[in-house]
């Protein structure tokens, strides 16, 4: 059974819109796959509206990915649905995984995962499929879910597969669960509006962009100490310049990380405003002890 994992945006949230790279990886602790039910499909799992959207674009000759929609419809009528444990509204790839699954199963000529030369086209095809859920899509989420491995994203739209560094960096990432479902679009709009203000242009972006680049470079080099330093830098800048994207119940844990002498640091995971919060630590035991009175660690990666 083919499984499509969720995704995490490790670094580059928002700043990729201003010229930095971004780094994303699969979240293998949650996944989606095709399943069948003999009973009526619950409304929130029903794919008929999604299928109608794709059919409309196909009828107009606008569907960039040729899909076998009649076969898709037959399977839906047989009780096919997408069984998923990926949380919705977390920026974790819930719609991306579904779109990747549709593409792989029903595209006439799906672009192979190893065909890196055509990733721009692949991302464009997946973006159009995912636009049903978001109005517009970059295609990055379904691309990562389709490839099933870490991806380096460039501001010009290109993408490159990244193999996990060996040896692995001595630190580790972890997640906090805010319990808040949110929509990405308004948060991105908020960031773009703020990025046009003189203070943000003058002070925040010149610091956030190099910190993001440094974090990505450190990850690719398996340099845990520099991942920690760059993450702490990003954490402080996000708290200073983007506090509205940090859920208020987690502000104490965020500040405590900055005051922990490098025990851990927290940063936005995706658009912010809810979903997961990403942490990095060089000392998991100390980080857990500091976080225990404030918030439980949802998952160590």
Q: Does the N-terminal peptide bond of residue 167 adopt cis geometry, omega within 30 degrees of 0?
A: yes
> Does one domain contain both 140 and 258?
no
Is residue 167 included in any domain, yes or no? no
CB-count exposure of residue 113 (10 Å: 0-12, 13-18, 19+): middle
Task: Summarize pLDDT for 138-161 with one digit per residue, the tens.
Answer: 889 999 999 999 999 999 989 999
Torsion over CA of 134, 139, 142 and 144, rounded to 10 degrees?
-140
> Does one domain contain both 110 and 187?
no
For position 14, which CATH number holds? 3.30.230
> Does one domain contain both 199 and 149?
no
Taking all residues of the chain, what is their mean pLDDT, rounded to a whole number?
Answer: 92
Considering only CA atoms, give the Rg of the chain. 20
pLDDT of residue 184: 86
> Does one domain contain both 182 and 228?
yes
Is residue 139 included in any domain, yes or no? yes
Phi, psi of 95 (to 5 degrees): -80, -30
Domain boundary residue among 92, 126, 161?
Answer: 161
Q: What is the domain range of residue 19? A: 4-161
> Does one domain contain both 157 and 187?
no
Mean pLDDT for back-to-back runs of 10 residues, the chain (301 residues): 94 92 95 88 78 92 91 92 93 94 96 94 94 83 95 93 78 94 88 93 96 96 95 98 95 96 94 94 93 88 79
Is residue 166 included in any domain, yes or no? no
pLDDT of residue 166: 72
For position 213, which CATH number holds? 3.30.70.890
- Structural domains in the chain (count): 2
């Amino acid at each position: 059974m083919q499984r499509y994992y969720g995704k995490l945006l490790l670094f580059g949230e928002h700043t990729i819109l201003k010229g930095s790279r971004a780094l994303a990886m699969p979240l293998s602790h949650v996944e989606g796959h095709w399943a069948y039910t003999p009973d009526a499909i619950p409304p929130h799992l029903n794919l008929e509206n999604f299928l109608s959207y794709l059919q409309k674009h196909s009828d107009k000759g606008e569907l960039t990915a040729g899909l076998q929609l009649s076969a898709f419809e037959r399977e839906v009528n047989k009780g096919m649905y997408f069984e998923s444990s990926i949380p919705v509204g977390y920026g974790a790839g819930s719609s991306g995984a579904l779109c990747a699954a549709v593409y792989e199963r029903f595209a006439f000529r799906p672009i192979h995962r190893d065909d890196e030369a055509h990733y721009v086209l692949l991302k464009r095809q997946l973006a159009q499929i995912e636009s049903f859920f978001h109005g517009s899509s970059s295609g990055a989420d379904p691309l990562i879910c389709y490839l099933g491995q870490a991806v380096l994203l460039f501001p010009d739209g290109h993408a490159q597969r990244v193999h996990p560094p060996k040896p692995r960096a001595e630190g580790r990432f972890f997640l906090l669960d805010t319990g808040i479902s949110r929509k990405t679009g308004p948060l991105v709009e908020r960031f773009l509006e703020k990025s046009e203000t003189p203070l943000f242009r003058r002070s925040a972006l010149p610091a956030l962009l190099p910190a993001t680049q440094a974090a990505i470079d450190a990850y690719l080099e398996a340099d845990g100490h520099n991942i920690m330093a760059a993450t702490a830098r990003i954490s402080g800048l996000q708290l200073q310049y983007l506090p509205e994207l940090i859920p208020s119940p987690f502000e104490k844990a965020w500040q405590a990380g900055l005051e922990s002498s490098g025990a851990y640091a927290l940063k936005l995971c995706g658009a912010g405003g809810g979903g997961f919060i990403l942490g990095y630590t060089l000392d998991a035991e100390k980080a857990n002890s500091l976080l225990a009175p404030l918030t439980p660690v949802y998952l160590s990666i």
